[in-house]
Structure 1
Amino acid sequence: MQHLPDIHRMASNARSAPVVVVGAGMAGLTTALMLAEAGCRVTVVEKSARPGGKLRELGVGGQMIDSGPTVFTMRWVFEAIFASVGERLADHVRLTKADILARHSWQDGSTFDLHADVEQTADAVGRFAGADEALGYRAFCGRTAEVFASLNQSFMENPAPSPIGLALSAGVGGLAALSRIKPFTSLWNVVGDYFRDPRLRQLFGRYATYCGSSPFSAPGPLMLIAQVEQMGVWLVEGGMARLADAFEGLAIARGVEFVYGADVAKVSVRDHRATGVELASGQKLPAEAVVFNGDPAAIFSGLLGEAARSAVPAWRPADRSLSALTWSVHGQARGFPLSRHTVFFSKDYKREFEDLLGHGQLPQDPTIYVCAQDRDTTDEHAAPGTERLFLLVNAPAQADSRTLSKTEIASCEKRVTARLEQAGLTLSVSPENRVVTTPSDFNTLFPGTGGALYGRSSHGWAASFQRPGSRTRIKGLYLAGGAVHPGPGLPMAALSGRHAATAILRDLASTVSFHPMAMPGGMSTRSAATDSAH
């Protein structure tokens, strides 16, 4: 388990400061929970009716279906956050470790299961593609482990990494390791160093899409995602949204106030310092710190007021990550033996990304991800009756400039259906038991993004260092979420929330003199001025 800064010790130099968190996504929930534990008075403002942000579930056919992130990894990140507030993750969320990470299907009829166990997968690779590919897989695993070890503390755990700082922290011996992570080589080419079989190259190159990027442009270090998955993919009992519920419950127990169904019209700024937020209703919430748990694109596009626009640098729409077209359905799946996570690959991966990023259109031959939420990862047979399914294909993030037409969406759906039937999978779903979410819908859910789901794309070696950190150019205004450092995904968003909470506590402690008071749930604080009023 990783060790976090002692927030109770930090709180001994802080006061019960009012903080407003805009957005109840995973990062916002983490920030709110840690700040409340430290004694801050936290209000979370969320425009939807429940917590979770992109960690959302949709009601379809009387069932709740995970319709956002479906993979839970880096369990230790959440265990450490829970431990920092005196709780155990296992007491609040029930997790089961997956044996099969994902099942994969190609148009030549071949299939392959990626296992959590390296040796089991290596044996499967040997049977699938030959002994040389099995050796390549073992070498790939060794390198991904090295990449993860090189970047976990120095980059992901570092609230403000830089290329120079990364090199300096590595030391003489570490520089050799850093050179082997191939930052200037595309993930596609790095994967090609280990695998000659085009199917395996496609499988491991797909990790670039975990951050909404192309494997032909994303840098080699993204191979570390393979190591993260080998360290454990977990199934959340009751669905992924139970994680958000757990965070919300712990935060409420520590005094956090959640305001749902409320839009923030602007961040109030005076003398180049954030002083609170103003809701669309006209209500004003003063604060000594404001945390924006959303895409920074909403700030620099002026959606949180003109005064806040200068807080973060702008980036071009061309720098956005991918969006998605998804189907949340409740129906029957027959034929192909789905696992919990199944990927149906396109025939020409390069053409797929040329369609997405070069032509700004839905792929003519898309790769399709299917999450069969009612199956564990060992199921070989179709579930009886109906089941919950979530289907996703990548889409361009241009919803603020060009909306996909109904004809384009219907045409893509036909291609998806045909591809699945080619693999032997037949879906029987009535119209009332399906919900389609388009890039335009995602742009509405996450304003200013054009539908991009991962902030900036991770294209080029410098992209990861160009994501903003928790502090902004405006004092008292902080960022958290998958669009800021260290990047997209549930554990990364949680880390960003931890970075934001730590930055706020340190900044408060550096500007005001406080003294500690014992409070239920841990050491809390109040200012002398507050004490004298009671």
Structure 2
Amino acid sequence: MPEGPDETVVVIGAGMGGLAAAIRLAAAGLRVSIVEARQSPGGKLRQVPAGPAWLDAGPTVLTMRWVFDDLLSVCGTSLADEISLTRATTLARHVWRGGQSLDLFADVAESRRAIADFAGRREGEGFSRFAADSARIFTLLKDTFIDATRPNPLSLSARIGLMRPGALLALRPFSTLWSALSTYFADERLRQLFGRYATYCGSSPFDAPATLMLVAHVEQAGVWIVEGGMQALALRLAEIAEGLGVTFHYGERVSAILKDSAGQSVAGVRCASGRVLPASEVIFNGDAAALPGLLGRPAARPPAPPSLSALVACTLTAPEPGPLAHHTVHFSDDYRGEFEAIFKRGEPPADPTVYLCAPDRTAAGARRADAAADTPERLYALMNMPANGDRHSYDESEIDRCLSAMESRLSANGSALRFDRSRMTVTAPDGYSRLFPATGGALYGMASHGWAASFRRPGARTGLKGLYLAGGSIHPGPGVPMAALSGKIAAASLMADRRSDGPSSRVAISGGMPMRSATAAPLP
């Protein structure tokens, strides 16, 4: 179709979902502009200073490499051709009180041996069953849910096969992750370890569905370390998008999504500077909670509690001879109490589990060859927090208490690490609330609590013609590869609607009010 100025697609936000959508649209020949409030791409893939050094302050793990190979195939390239990757043979180190330590490996048999040595033969056998079942769940959901348009329970059942009740039951939709783990592991430390996968989508293992077992298989299929940090992935994707003709407008915050005179279709966006960008379609790559404000509506009550927030400290530390790998998790003594503090009382846990990423270490924990042994090393430290940043300000004394609580847990677990507060950048829930408006600091959209949580996430299509959604709060969910898949789904939906341009795929009009199609998600 002929393209004039109004045929440009505007993408709001240069996060992973927005970049993925823009690349796919531009590769298909559409004119695309990305409007980004900050001065660089990446969204949550950002870096901050720690003294003279810089390090990632957002996601630190790259999985599901096939998502990015699929994305870049439309440009005739692959992820390995564009950035430097190292596959981690050690997935993570896990540490408990007194220095009890367990490494998980990319090789399932090696992990089984490690677990058997750590907790006994029966726990190793339990891991074998767990690994097989997590792979089965992932296989069932990959094409029917993860890499597909947003289903409802009935359509998901149809995709899997209504005549396959065994397959549906294998998903354990009505069991919590914690209760399911007790059928594999008697050792509570192992339930902690694998229950932590619920936090990958900002949820409690005591309330999240057992379906999240699939994360175990995702990690077994490959954890990758990106040379230069995770932001290097966003920077390279932005360069690829520019090479396809995508225009970036950095330092421009969108203040409104514009509609046509009838209020039935998207007409463009207005920036806080007053600049107007006309568009026939808009992809909003931001948290769904922020969308009503851009449409001139009051914020809607979220359909579920917000996900976890975090306190993240990026700092320098003296090289530690102790149990520090590239990814290290120090578990608290009372895992249930930790999540009750966050989700029920809305307060920082007194005894937090602490996740550490040491970018100057190899996966197994050795100092990188290019890192001098006697120089300070960069450290990313995270503890889970309530998403109350829109109503609670974290002052210096409260942040210091959280840092001290993390140091106490590290000490109890046999680590001598201490944070250098003079060379540190800390982001608390109120900081995340400012970075990502309308979230309260929630980093994963809504919490995935209960069997229906995944079906409550908005899909790509909305009730307004020409408006599409992408990002970690949108189907299929949070995480770098999932956000990229949301961009793929948004771009595919947009192009399909351009081809059909009919009421069944866009918006039907009844009594002058837009009515959602069967595939459209409600506007938040």
Give TM-score scaled by structure 2 length: 0.91
User: Equivalent residue for 1:320?
Assistant: 306
Aligned equivalent of 2:337: 351
SS in 1 for 2:164: helix
Structure 1 distance, partners of 2:319, 2:289, is 39
1:177 aligns with 2:164: no
Note the alpha carbon deviations across 1:233-252, whole angstroms, 9 max, x for none.
00101111111011101110
Question: Does the CA-based 8 Å contact 2:63-2:224 persist in structure 1?
Answer: yes
- 2:176 aligned partner: 186
State the 1:168 CA deviation.
1.3
Shift of 1:361: 0.3
Q: Tell me the CA shift for residue 181 of structure 1.
A: 1.5
| Aligned-partner residue type, residue 66 of structure 1 | D
Q: CA deviation at 1:62?
A: 2.1
The 5-angstrom pairing of residues 35-434 of structure 1 reads 35-172=25-162, 174-270=164-260, 271-300=263-292, 302=293, 304-306=294-296, 314-315=301-302, 319-380=305-366, 383-427=373-417, 429-434=419-424
Shift of 1:173: 5.1
Q: Is the 2:173–2:451 Cα contact (8 Å) retained in structure 1?
A: yes
Distance 1:423 1:88 in 2: 41
Structure 2: state its 5+ residue gaps: 503-524
In the aligned structure 2, how far is the partner of 1:469 from the partner of 1:305?
Answer: 17
Amino acid corresponding to residue 319 of structure 2 in structure 1: A
| CA displacement 1:390-432 (0-9 Å, x = unmatched) | 0000000011122234332221111111221233323355434
C-alpha distance in 2 between matches for 1:141 and 1:241? 31
- Distance, in Å, in 2 between the alignment partners of 1:200 and 1:26 is 32
TM-superposed deviation, 1:314:
4.2
Q: Is the 8 A contact 2:99 2:414 kept in 1?
A: no
Deviation at 1:37, TM superposition (A): 1.0
Which residue of 2 is the match for residue 500 of structure 1?
Answer: 490
Counterpart secondary structure, 1:252: helix
CA contact 2:266–2:281 (8 Å) conserved in 1: yes
Distance 1:500 1:370, change over 3 A: same
Residues in 2 aligned to 1:509 and 1:15: alpha-carbon distance in whole angstroms: 14
Task: Choose which of 428, 431, 438 in structure 2 pairs with 1:441.
Answer: 431
Rounded to whole Å, the distance in 2 between the matches of 1:200 and 1:154 is 30
Q: Is the 8 A contact 1:336 1:423 kept in 2?
A: no
Cα deviation, residue 226, structure 1: 0.2
CA–CA separation in structure 2 for the residues paired with 1:146 and 1:115: 19
Within 1, Cα distance between the matches of 2:119 and 2:213?
20
**Unaligned stretches of 5+ in structure 1?**
1-12, 513-534
Q: Is the 8 A contact 2:266 2:282 kept in 1?
A: yes
Once superposed, what is the RMSD of the aligned Cα atoms?
A: 1.7
Q: Is the 8 A contact 1:15 1:39 kept in 2?
A: no
Quote the Cα distance in structure 2 between the aligned partners of 1:268 and 1:387: 48
SS of 1:342 mapped into structure 2:
strand
1:516 maps to which residue? none
C-alpha deviation, 1:50, in angstroms: 0.3
Q: Which amino acid counterpart does residue 343 of structure 1 have in structure 2?
A: V
Alpha-carbon offset, residue 93 of structure 1? 1.0
| Cα shift readout 1:437-463 (whole Å, capped 9, x = no counterpart) | 010110011000000000010000000
After TM superposition, where is structure 1 displaced by more than 3 Å over at least 4 residues in a row?
A: 13-16, 380-384, 427-432
| Residues 481-514 of structure 1, C-alpha deviations (whole Å, 9 max, x = no match) | 00000000011000000001111111112239xx
Alpha-carbon separation, structure 1, partners of 2:244 and 2:380: 35
Structure 1 residue identity aligned to 2:139: A
Q: Could you tell me whether the CA contact under 8 Å between 2:15 and 2:41 is conserved in 1?
A: yes
Quote the Cα distance in structure 2 between the aligned partners of 1:124 and 1:173. 39
Equivalence map 1:448-459=2 (5 Å): 448-459=438-449
Q: Which amino acid aligns with 1:315?
A: P
Aligned partner letter, 1:341: H
How many percent of aligned residue pairs carry the same amino acid?
47
CA distance in 2, matches of 1:88, 1:448: 35
Contact 2:315 2:421 in 1 (8 A): no
Cα distance in 2 for partners of 1:121, 1:397 equals 34
| 8 Å contact kept, 2:87–2:223 | yes
Distance 1:52 1:242 in 2: 9
C-alpha displacement of 1:14: 8.1
TM-score by length of 1: 0.90
Aligned match of 1:521: none
- SS state of the match for residue 417, structure 2? strand
